[in-house]
Structures are given as structure tokens and as C-alpha cells.
Structure 1
Amino acid sequence: MDKMEWIAPCHFGLESVLKREIQDLGYEIVQVEDGRVTFSGGIDAVCRANIFLRTAERVLLKVGSFQARTFEELFEGTKNIPWEDYIPADGKFWVAKAASVKSRLFSPSDIQSIMKKAMVERLKSRYRIEWFPESGASYPVRVFLMRDVVTVGLDTTGVSLHKRGYRPVAGKAPIAENLAAALIMLTPWRKERILVDPFCGSGTFPIEAAMIAANIAPGMNRSFTAENWTNLVGKRNWYEAVNEASDVINDQIETDIQGYDADGEVLRAARKNAEAAGVGSLIHFQQREVKDLSHPKKYGFIITNPPYGERLEEKKNLPGLYREFGEAFRRLDSWSAYMITSYEDAERYFGRKADKNRKIYNGMLKTYFYQFAGPKPPKQKKQKDALR
């Protein structure tokens, strides 16, 4: 196989960030849709995309696309896909997930059942066997139906890419690692700038920022379903991608990344998570209330996920909490702040209307990414001017 098409799903509203990441890896964008980006690349793409992409949820190998308004059309369209090119005779295969939007076929369980039958029929005729042991590698299938167009992909990832492997212990309302990375990448923050998260919880924002700063690929310390697809992907491809990721790490940099939280127990977990991610030395964690938020330097960034008040007993505390946050931010008069929250009165109690806000779906929860821009720092004089 030369160039293939790959599908990378992501959080709704963050497709532009993922598109830029894929282009930075050197792959050509085929299509950008709500919640996913399709791109083309050789077999190396399965390894590099899984290891390097910070904002994707998984990577799918696109195996077919067709129109289906009836279950008969779904069966025939699925049966026409050359499954024998992907799944060996002993492969374990099933339709792991089906999603349908604005389509006549909408029952996930029926879609999954019919597609599995069609796959079995196709492979029975190609391998000339009546029974499949399914004792080999796993080949989970994912299918999207959008306006009666069926898109079928093999899931190369397995456990979602937001599971980096560093966060076995999470706080009360953790933000997904890939969502945190995407939000950081939406801001103008760079590794030489200050970053503070005053509601850091299990440390996701500071850890993702430190990994970006040190150029640590998010998928370096985990495994993927496609590692066992020896009929499609050689071990050499995986070794080369891991070596590439290892070669670009620079964890000897100086950073000013800080995480604060009022809960000391949660902070202990955050420190463990940072160590597991290989960035423990790049982050300063401190037990501190949001009202005590301060920093001696100018032109820093606050990027945070404050409490949403999803529980009724917590909701009554939100006005005071957001008010304290806003007051502390105003004392940092040259700083910028970015917060993701579903709290509808966030701007009101924060005391300032956001310069921009962006609707983002965090799972099924509609949230807004509020952006409060501060002044740009003065440009540094060029080295030659400093030497005069």
C-alpha cells in the first residue's frame, strides 16, 4: 500500500488545531469536517500520527465510504469493502462503534450487527472458511453515518489518545489531555513565556504545556492496537517513529510553568502525574487559593479549567469563586487569561467580557473557551543591538 487515507477524530470546535498538527507532520489534508480531519499518507502515518498528535482522539485507517439509506444497502456496501486486504484469517474483528447524524439508518446496534454479518460473508468467500477463530490481532471497526454517507475505518489506536499514560489519578473534574493540549495551542503561549493554572487539579494543563515546551511526543509511553497488525505495519515503522520522537526531546530547557490548587491532596497527585510524564522538573506546583493568585513578572498567561458547578451544592459557591478569580486577574494587569467552562455567568462574575469566546463540546457538555487578551510584551532587541 502506498498512500492511504487516515481519519483523526477530535473535539468539536478544535478541527483547525488538529489540521495544523497534521500538516506540521508533513501529511496532506483531504477533508475537514465537524469533529474529524481526514488526511493522506503512507504506512508510516499510522505510527507517527498516533505518537505525535496531541489533539486527536484516535487514528483510523479509512477502508471505505458509500451511500446507504437501507440496511440492504449498508450490508452490500460493507461487503464490497476488500476486508481481506486488512484483516487476516485469524484476525479478531467487530464493529466497535457506530454513530449516525441526519441519516435514515440511526440504530447503532443494528448498524453494528449488519456490518459484522457483511464482513463475515466477505471474508468467508475470500478465505474459503466457514468459521473464524478470531484468535489473532484485534481489528476494531468504527463507522460514521452522515446524511446517509457511510464512512468506515479501522481503529489503529485502541484506548483513546487522550490517555497518555501519565494520569492514573485524576481530580474531581479532570479535563482530557488532548483537549487541554488543543486549548493551549489555541493561545499565543510559547515555552519561553510564563504559564499559570490556578485551578490545576491533577495538573493536566501544566503537564501538557511542559510536554509541548520540552517537545515530548504524547504517545511515546503507551501502546496502540495497530502495533499487532504485522500484516500491514512493520515493527521497523514503529521503531523509526519512536526514535524520531526521542531525538527531538529537549527536557533541559528552563520554563516558568506553575500549577496552583486549594486542595493539597490533589496537588500531590499532580506532582506524581508530572513525574510520570517526564516533566516534573519543569513545573512548580503550590497549594494556593485563587484569591492569592499573583506573580512578580509581567506578560504571563493563565490557562485554566475552573469549576463548572455541575453539582447543585457546588453551584452556590461559583459567583464568589469567579469574582475572586477576576479580581486576582485584574491585579496582573499585563497578563492574558484563557478559561474553559460551562458556567453561564462566568463573564458576569469574572468582571470582564471576553475578547473572544469559542464554543467547544467537552464530551456531551457544551462549554466556552473564554479569551481575555492582555498587552503584547515589547519586542526584544536583537542580539547585535545588545552588543553595541
Structure 2
Amino acid sequence: MNKITLIATAAMGLEAIVANEVRQLGYKDVTVENGKVIFEADFKAIARANLWLRTADRVKILVGEFNAVSFEELFEQTKALPWADFISEDSEFPVIGRSVKSRLYSVPDCQAIVKKAVVESLKKSYHIEWFEEIGAFQRIEVAIHKDIASLTIDTSGTGLHKRGYRYLHNEAPLKETLAAALIQLTNWNADKPLYDPFCGSGTIPIEAAMIGQNIAPGINRTFAFENWNWFEQKWIDEVQEEAEDVAKYDQPLQIIGGDVDHTMIELAQNNAKEAGFPDALRFKQIQISDFSTEDESGVVIGNPPYGDRMKDKSYAENLYRELGRVLRPMDTWSVYIITSHPHFEKLYGAKATKKRKLYNGNIKTDFYQFWGKRPRKK
């Protein structure tokens, strides 16, 4: 078996971005569906996708997919899948599940049946009756949607948003995967200044720095597949060497994070240091009303307070008015703001060039894009 089917899961609204990242890695047979991107690849792609996908949540192996309207069908078809190709005889293989609009709606029953079927399949392959499950962790998921059961094995372990640099964060952190997606939706590149006026724990500036210097987002963390005895160490080594070869550590960056809270500035500085950017990024305590720049053009990108709670609403609305007052005159700068507030454009004082619906966790938001005019040639 030289090819496998991989699934890169994605937050709602980010599927097209994840698919573009998959294609940039060189994989052409790509299918986009709600919440996931499916692609055919070789085994090394497990390592490459986990290391490089900035906006995906997880990478999973699709072991099999079939129609199942009875527990007997679920059991027999699960049992028939080639589990021994992926799961070792000493592996720990718990089963999680979900079911949507399907006749097999009892998730605990589906999980139990899949677990039993996998055990029966492995018994036949390994000729043993008992599995101690003391080895590598290989989590199986049974996902049933409209009576179609998909059986997958998670290769990532902890979610891909866990880059390894953000040990501490503010109360409402922006996921690293969403921050990377927001940056990719702007017109920013490493030659332009970037300013985040609501930097919090520094996620947007740090993700921008990783993009600007072409650093693989997973380079400083581990993954579940690294402990699987059938996954060859040479594949891991080759992918990591590729990442080192293309990194641009000497690329200068002009990225600034600002926040009104000095404790957030300290937190962002610590996180930037953990991410490998002790000196490349600047953070300063500042109010948006005090922001000014001598740069002719650049990008502002921010995740301000949404004002979802009644007591915070007036603060957020005044902040949006001030944001517009300061940034609208900077007409050669592009401004990108994510918020759930339905009247942001009115408060900001301008209609967005474009807006895109995204989800920040479970919160439905809009990503407002105000494109700056091209600077006059000197």
C-alpha cells in the first residue's frame, strides 16, 4: 500500500484555506467538504501535513467509509477494514464517536461496537486473544453522518493549534490556527509592516512572524504518529530537514503588537521568546487612540473585544469608533478586523471592501477587510 487517504479537519469557513495549504505542499488530489479537506498521499505526508498545515485542526487517516444502518452492518464492515496496517498489537486504541442525522444515533453503542470489531480484526491478524494497550496512542473515531460511517485514526495527538509556544494566554485567546488563517486572508507579506493593536498574548504577531520567515508551525512540538512503530523515522527526519532548508531565519520583520494591558505585553513577549522570536517582534503598551506611524503603508489586523456581554458592549462600541477615527485617515494602510458585533461598519465609520464569515470557536463572526489605496510612487 503506497497511498493512503488523509483528512485535514478544519473549522467552519477555513476549509478553502486549508485546501490551498494542502495543494502548496504538492498534493493535487484534493476534495473539500464541510469541516474537512480530503487528499490522497504517501505515508510521509502524515509528517509533512502535521508539520506544515497552519490552519487545519488535525490530520487523520481514513481507514474506511461505508453505509451502515444497523449495528450488525457497522460491526461487520468495521471488522473487515485493514486495522493491522495501522495499529500495532501493543497500541492503545480508544474509540470516540459522533452521529448526525443517522439511524445509528446512540454514540456510546457505536463506539462499543467499533471497539469490539477492531479487536476482532486485530485478533485475526496478530493471532492473540488479549490486547494490553500499553503502547503508542492511536485514537480511532467513528463519525456517522446521514448513515455513512467514516472510520479514522488521528495522527496529530493534541490539536494542531498547540504550537508549543503559548503556555499562558488571556481569557479569550484566539486559536493559533485561526490567527494564521486571518493573516493569510490579508495582503500582508514580510516586506510590509504589520500592527496588531489588540495583541493579547501575542498570537497574531507570532503567527505572522512564522509565516514571514516560512517557519513550519509544528517544528517545535511532537505528534502522535512519531510513537507508532510502523512509521519510519527517516520520513520524520526528511520532512524536518526540508523545513529547515526552506526557513528564512534572516528575513527582517516589522511586526508590532500593542495592548492596553501591560500584563498582556509581558505575556506576549514571553510567548514570542518561546516561539523563537526574542528580538524580531516588538510589543508595547498602547491605546489605539495613541497609535501613529511614519510608514507609508502596511497592514493592521486585530481581534478586539466583541462586547458580547451587556456590561462590555458600550466599551467595545466606543473602541470601534476610536479605531475608525484613527485608522480611516491612513488610507494607504489595509485594515482587517474580526468581530461578532453586527454594527461594526457603522461604528467604524466605513463600509468594508469585503467581509468573510468565520467562526471564532463557537462565536459567529465577520472578518472585515478595508483595503488600502496603492501608495503614490516617489
- State the TM-score, normalized to the length of structure 2: 0.96
1:294 — aligned with what? 292
Separation in 2, partners of 1:286, 1:368: 27
The 5 A counterparts of 1:1-388 are 1-96=1-96, 98-231=97-230, 233-377=231-375
Aligned residues of 1:295 and 1:332 also touching (Cα < 8 A) = no
Structure 1 gap segments, 5+ residues each = 381-388
Separation in 1, partners of 2:349, 2:236: 50
Q: CA deviation at 1:250?
A: 1.5
User: Residues 298-329 of structure 1: CA distance to partner in whole angstroms, max 9, x if unpaired?
Assistant: 22111111111233322231111111111111
Structure 2 gap segments, 5+ residues each = none
Q: CA deviation at 1:206?
A: 0.6
Q: Is the partner of 1:93 in helix, strand or coil?
A: coil
Q: Match for 1:115: what amino acid?
A: V
Separation in 1, partners of 2:69, 2:320: 49
User: Residues 224-251 of structure 1: CA distance to partner in whole angstroms, max 9, x if unpaired?
Assistant: 00001122x1111111111111122222
Q: CA deviation at 1:378?
A: 5.5
Q: Match for 2:229: what amino acid?
A: T
Aligned residues of 2:19 and 2:30 also touching (Cα < 8 A) = no
Q: CA deviation at 1:108?
A: 2.9
Q: Is the partner of 2:279 in helix, strand or coil?
A: helix
Q: Greater CA deviation, 100-109 or 306-315?
A: 100-109
Separation in 1, partners of 2:221, 2:362: 26
Separation in 2, partners of 1:29, 1:306: 38
Q: Match for 2:328: what amino acid?
A: R
Separation in 2, partners of 1:379, 1:77: 66
Aligned residues of 2:114 and 2:142 also touching (Cα < 8 A) = no
Aligned residues of 1:294 and 1:332 also touching (Cα < 8 A) = no
Separation in 2, partners of 1:104, 1:348: 47
Separation in 2, partners of 1:81, 1:28: 26
Q: Is the partner of 1:215 in helix, strand or coil?
A: coil
Separation in 1, partners of 2:46, 2:195: 34
Q: CA deviation at 1:80?
A: 1.6
Q: Greater CA deviation, 180-189 or 138-147?
A: 138-147
- Seen in structure 2, the aligned counterparts of structure 1 residues 367 and 316 have a Cα distance that, compared at 3 Å, is same
Q: Match for 2:316: what amino acid?
A: L
Q: Match for 1:307: what amino acid?
A: P
Q: Greater CA deviation, 19-28 or 127-136?
A: 127-136
**Matched residue count:** 378
Separation in 1, partners of 2:377, 2:152: 47
Separation in 2, partners of 1:25, 1:227: 20
Q: Match for 1:300: what amino acid?
A: G
Aligned residues of 1:175 and 1:204 also touching (Cα < 8 A) = yes
Q: Is the partner of 2:139 in helix, strand or coil?
A: strand
Q: Greater CA deviation, 245-254 or 370-379?
A: 370-379
Separation in 2, partners of 1:21, 1:171: 28
Q: CA deviation at 1:31?
A: 1.3
Q: Match for 2:275: what amino acid?
A: A
- Seen in structure 2, the aligned counterparts of structure 1 residues 347 and 222 have a Cα distance that, compared at 3 Å, is same
Identity percentage of aligned residues: 48
Q: Is the partner of 1:76 in helix, strand or coil?
A: helix
- Seen in structure 2, the aligned counterparts of structure 1 residues 30 and 102 have a Cα distance that, compared at 3 Å, is farther
Separation in 1, partners of 2:108, 2:93: 16
Q: Is the partner of 1:322 in helix, strand or coil?
A: helix
Aligned residues of 1:251 and 1:279 also touching (Cα < 8 A) = no
Aligned residues of 1:166 and 1:274 also touching (Cα < 8 A) = yes
Q: Match for 1:317: what amino acid?
A: Y
